[in-house]
Structure 1
Amino acid sequence: MNRNDLPPIMPPPGELPPDPPRGFMARFRNYFLTGLIVAGPIAITFYLTWWFVTWVDGLVRPFVPVAYRPETYLPFGLPGSGLVVAVVALTLLGFLTANLIGRTLVDLGEKLLGRMPVVRAIYRGLKQVFETLFSAQGSSFRRVGLVEFPSPGMWSIVLISQPPSVEIAASLPGQDEHISVFLPCAPNPTTGFFFYVPKSKLIEVEMSAEDAATLIMSCGVVQPGSDPQKRIAALVETANAARAANASTLKPVPAKVD
């Protein structure tokens, strides 16, 4: 009997056929994507950190005398020296402000800024924003919610801020209590929409602002609280199901015997 006349070896029922041998280009593509997934976030993190350090150095270094700069005594520049100076200066400023003399100087400076028509509005607005965001007792943008936006049936993630002022609350229609929210845009959460929404139409969710930012920046790819092992298992099950479907469609049709 010729070897070609033997019937093909079929896998037992319920088991998937073996994977076909992968070529060089398929392996190269998989290894490249794996390396990109590992190195991409690290490279972007280092790039953003380097950009921030360089930006702070560029702002602080002109105010540092040449005699106190590290590059004066070293044959190369020392990145981060301006950042260290900025941290020390801000800490010293906070220490002096906590004293009576520092408070007096700050009050004097605020009075001078309060007499300037345009600068006064900018300073007061920025001061309130910084006090609200960096206050340990503040709750703005620390709570996450869902609102129906941009159309009914479509829900968007928002960061919950503060209730409106008395003047704005009196001008809002309806009898419901409103609250201000910020809707970040994906994938750049620094831009978005600010609006007032009735509390009855706001669903507060148990999620941190950091997880919400990650979800928005990843466009829903990275789900907060999900187990990586469960995600990998789900991907494997999906791949096995797809492979089983393809194998069933590629089974040879037995020839009819007359």
Structure 2
Amino acid sequence: MKQRSFKQYFITGLLVWLPMGITVWVLMWLVGLLDSIFLAVLYAADALIPGMHTLAEVLRGVPGLGVILVAIVIFATGVFVANIFGQWWLRQWDNLMNRIPVVRSIYTSVKQVADTLFSGSGNAFSKALLVQYPRQGAWTIAFLTGTPGGEVAQHFPQPMVSVYVPTTPNPTSGFFLMMPKADVIELDMSVDDALKYIISMGVVVPGGPDTLPAAKAVSENL
């Protein structure tokens, strides 16, 4: 009985601390990465502006400074490209990147994905869907990414939709499918709730209790 209770309490406590620990670890890794990028830029600038190396050594002991400065640079870039001159400069930069053979394919692909995911006019992950995959009778969560267009759309006799079926627990990988619109069920749940449902492998049910459902299930099964 004591061994059973110890296992129950240990797993419940682990489910409390594991998400917190991983979150802290990811944040620390991100802060360290941005700080390293910022210091690398200062060291590189030392070749053009003498004294930047000394400044980098001084700022090395300030944790999180890289995060703040990178955020400022990103915000300033957004303000800059929002005007006419910034748009012209951005077009010139795109043209330059598109002229470099190897860089062109990488830059164009990343830019298209970024524009689709983060642009306010994009349709990426605009709705959560319920689709039958990988066979009839087996259902999974998918996301609407748009509708087929161009030459591809000409080969479909009925309205189709483009969907992304993520894998679990890592939704960054998945499958792109084009399915008949009639075979897709649109869900009322938000995209965030659908992602939580996928990442938790169905443990965190949208609309259900948010307080450690996995811990409760483990406790009841032990």
> Are positions 1:107 and 2:91 aligned together?
yes
What TM-score does the superposition give when structure 1 sets the normalisation length? 0.72
Map Cα deviations across residues 18-75 of structure 1 (whole Å, 9 max, x no partner): xxxx43x334333322321221111111111112222222223200233444x516xx
Of 33, 36, 39, the match for 1:61: 39
Question: Which protein, 1 or 2, shows the higher relative CO under an 8 Å CA cutoff with sep ≥ 6?
Answer: 2
Of 202, 207, 212, the match for 1:225: 207
Structure 2 distance, partners of 1:116, 1:31, is 58
Q: Which stretches of structure 1, 4 residues or more, deviate above 3 A after TM superposition?
A: 65-69, 116-122
1:118 Cα deviation after fit:
4.2
Alignment length, in residue pairs?
A: 209
- How do 1:193-208 and structure 2 match up within 5 A? 193-208=175-190
Larger Rg: 1
Structure 2 distance, partners of 1:203, 1:99, is 41
Structure 1 distance, partners of 2:100, 2:210, is 55
- How do 1:1-258 and structure 2 match up within 5 A? 22-23=1-2, 25-64=3-42, 65-69=52-56, 72=58, 77-172=61-156, 175-227=157-209
Q: Which runs of 5+ in 2 are unaligned?
A: 43-51
1:158 Cα deviation after fit:
0.6
Contact between 1:184 and 1:192, CA under 8 Å: does it hold in 2? yes
Instruction: Find the residue that maps to 2:76 and give its secondary structure.
Output: helix
Moved more, 175-184 or 219-228: 219-228
Structure 2 distance, partners of 1:87, 1:67, is 23
Q: Which runs of 5+ in 1 are unaligned?
A: 1-21, 243-258
Structure 2 distance, partners of 1:110, 1:228, is 45
Contact between 1:176 and 1:200, CA under 8 Å: does it hold in 2? no
| Percent identity of paired positions between Structure 1 and Structure 2 | 35
Cα pair distance change 1:111/1:223, threshold 3 Å = same
What TM-score does the superposition give when structure 2 sets the normalisation length? 0.82
Structure 1 distance, partners of 2:208, 2:133, is 25
